[in-house]
Amino acid sequence: VPTPPKTSVAAIVAAGRRILEAEGPEALTLQAVASAVGVRAPSLYKRINGRGDLVRRIANDAAAELGSVLAAANRDDPAEALRAMAHAVRRFALANPRAYALLFAPLPEDARVDEQLNADLAATIVRAAGGLAGSEHALDAGRMVVAWVHGFMTMELAGAFRLGGDIDRAFEFGVDRIVRGLEP
């Protein structure tokens, strides 16, 4: 006797992301997710391939969201585009710290962010960076910007800036000097 589904992949991923953000990665258990969507843990295996697969899907979900945030921050002027995108990443990371931490995490293969999503995300930045530094340096320049923003956010989210000072201003300083360093 066929039965109608009680839940869906989308509901599972949304519940997982909510739990991850609210209670941290240790609390992201299949039992917690199952209970949030109204089934028992074994039933989740009808839609996802275990915990690793769930984590990957959550990371993809966040990457897609960050992708549209970045696209919206794009500008005609390359320096303005880089500034706006840096701030957009920071805002996203502060609003979604646990999901953000998943984006470039050294996760097992089956938990990795989708290749295509990653490439799309990178392309927007590389184009702006190339506009500023010259197209022959587009890739290197894009990597420099992304590495700095990501490193800054990783450290800010981890509470690793422990020598006092104004973090907002440190970020502004960084944006200024990255742009300056990239100019030809």
Q: Residue numbers of the site for DNA (CB under 7 A)?
A: 1-7, 28-31, 39-43, 45-46, 50-52
**Interaction of residue 180 with a second copy, rule CB under 8 A:** yes
Shortest distance, CB of residue 75 to a second copy, whole angstroms?
20
Tally of CB atoms within 10 A around 73: 21
Shortest distance, CB of residue 27 to a second copy, whole angstroms?
12
Listing DSSP states for 26-39 in one string gives GG--HHHHHHHHTS
144 binds, among DNA, a second copy, none (CB under 5 to 8 A by kind): a second copy
Window 45-84: residues binding a second copy (CB under 8 A): none
Cα 15 to chain centroid, rounded: 17
CA 183 – CA 47 distance, rounded (Å) = 49
Nearer to a second copy, 75 or 127 (CB): 127
Among 1, 42, 106, 168, binds a second copy (CB under 8 A): 106
CA 102 – CA 156 distance, rounded (Å) = 15
Nearer to DNA, 47 or 83 (CB): 47
Among 1, 3, 42, 115, binds a second copy (CB under 8 A): 115
Orientation of helix 50-73 relative to helix 9-23, angle to 10°: 80
Whether the Cβ atoms of residue 132 and residue 183 lie closer than 8 Å to each other: yes
Shortest distance, CB of residue 51 to DNA, whole angstroms?
4
